[in-house]
Amino acid sequence: MEKVRVLVVDDSALVRKLLSAMLDSDPGIEVVGAAADPLIARDKIKQLNPDVLTLDVEMPRMDGLTFLENLMRLRPMPVVMVSSLTERGAEVTLRALEIGAVDFFTKPSSDLANCFAESAQEICTKVKLAARTRPRAYTQVQKIAVPPRLSADAVLPRSQSPGTRGGMRIIAVGASTGGTEAIRVLLEAMPPDAPPIVITQHIPAAFSGPFAVRMNNCSAMRVCEARDGQPIQPGHAYIAPGGEHLLVMWDGAKHVCRLHDGPQVNRHKPSVDVLFRSTAASVGAAAVGVLLTGMGDDGARGLLEMRESGAPTLVQDEASSVVWGMPGAAWKLGAADEKLPLEDIAARLLVLAHQPIAGARRAAS
């Protein structure tokens, strides 16, 4: 078999000497050259055409990562990184593996000769295995900024004294994946004089208006996309606009819809947790909460806050859910009194809405 031709790149003359000698001692490896920095290495790669490069992560004139990116973009070849035993060395090495380095070995901070001798077989094996690989060209990928996961606190602080205001039942509904059809089933079963319903469905801004129109056409209730300051009335259902949080607020004489252009909550806008928290604070025990099918856990903590404020709460069961993420999370959290199939939820909501508000502490209006 042909020997694996290796170019050693390291800013330390001692490391270059010891590493070259160690690799040369393996009958399957030939060290064809050494370089003190990436700029010298660049010229020697052209001259010597090595099979494998050993590359130090921290070097003068050009750091190892920058050189590696350029190398893997312009002339992909097997590279084994030489990493220092530090936290910084670990971070850079992991980044090097992302860029395309095949493997790495650690460089001791002291007693180089003995440590390299003890690791000789492992290092030589890594170099020979690297020679068998065919690295792909590196393409710079635009990183997507992941927004921080915020709680409902980012929009509305939790009320320390939720109470019941207005004496009117309000049903709060949350949903996500599979929710557009689940909401249709729910609204189709509601009579025209049903208690008011406020709805947060995870939906893009361009779709919430047409979705409200579609729901209005299939329900005996009047269904609309919620507007800021709109009074909440029986026989009406209000759907949160895509891209804005929907809150239920008490304005001193009546409950109204409030739209909030705040940050995403649980990486959603609108967020179910925001709707449920506002309902718990301003409606209290007079509310009824229901969490329908959806991915993730948005709404689970808000539903628990509604239950703790005295409101009856329920979730859609797993068998009838497209995704039992949100309702499942609420159920595991102890946020729901009941778990029901989708087809039974509307009837149960009507029963709950017509029950006396037991144990409610009436807040001053």
For the chain, strand residue ranges (E) read: 4-9, 29-35, 52-56, 79-84, 103-107, 170-175, 197-201, 222-225, 236-239, 245-250, 255-260, 287-291, 313-316, 338-340
Reduce the DSSP state of residue 158 to 3 states and report it: coil
Residues with Cβ < 8 Å from 332, sequence gap 6 or more? none
Count helices and strands (H / E) in the chain: 12, 14
With bands split at pLDDT 50, 70 and 90, how would you rate the model's confidence at 363?
A: very low
Q: How many CB atoms lie within 10 A of CB 59?
A: 21
Catalytic residue (choose from 202, 245, 255, 260):
202
Instruction: Decide: 274 and 264 in contact? Cβ < 8 Å.
Output: no
CA gap 305, 37 in Å, rounded: 61
Per-residue DSSP letter, 202: -
Mean pLDDT on 135-159: 76
With bands split at pLDDT 50, 70 and 90, how would you rate the model's confidence at 305?
A: very high
Q: Is the pLDDT of residue 362 over 50?
A: no
Instruction: Decide: 348 and 340 in contact? Cβ < 8 Å.
Output: yes
Catalytic residue (choose from 10, 56, 298, 317):
298
Reduce the DSSP state of residue 107 to 3 states and report it: strand
Which residue has better confidence, 257 or 93? 257
Element housing 124 (H / E): helix 120-131
Q: How many CB atoms lie within 10 A of CB 319?
A: 9
pLDDT of residue 171: 98
Let me know if 202 is a catalytic residue.
yes
Let me know if 298 is a catalytic residue.
yes
The residues of the chain that CATH labels 3.40.50.2300 are 4-132
Residues with Cβ < 8 Å from 189, sequence gap 6 or more? 346, 347
Mean pLDDT, all residues of the chain: 89
In CATH, which superfamily holds the domain spanning 4-132? Response regulator (3.40.50.2300)
Tell me how far CA of residue 7 lies from CA of 13, 45, 62, 191, in angstroms. Answer: 14, 8, 17, 80
Which range has the worst mean pLDDT, 145-154, 221-230, 276-285, 320-329?
A: 145-154
CA nearest to 240, candidates 217, 265, 220: 265
CA gap 128, 123 in Å, rounded: 9
CA gap 77, 184 in Å, rounded: 57
With bands split at pLDDT 50, 70 and 90, how would you rate the model's confidence at 288?
A: very high
Q: What is the pLDDT of residues 217-272, one digit of tens each?
A: 999 999 999 999 999 999 999 999 999 999 999 988 899 999 999 999 998 999 99
Reduce the DSSP state of residue 194 to 3 states and report it: coil
Domain 162-354, second-level architecture: 3-Layer(aba) Sandwich (3.40)
Where residue 284 falls (left for φ over 0; alpha for ψ -120 to 50; beta otherwise) is left
pLDDT of residue 356: 87
In the chain, pLDDT over 90 holds for what percent of residues?
67
Residues with Cβ < 8 Å from 247, sequence gap 6 or more? 155, 156, 257, 258, 259, 260, 274, 275, 278
The residues of the chain that CATH labels 3.40.50.180 are 162-354
Whether the pTM exceeds 0.85: the reply is no
CA gap 194, 107 in Å, rounded: 73
pLDDT of residue 365: 33
Length of the chain, in residues: 365
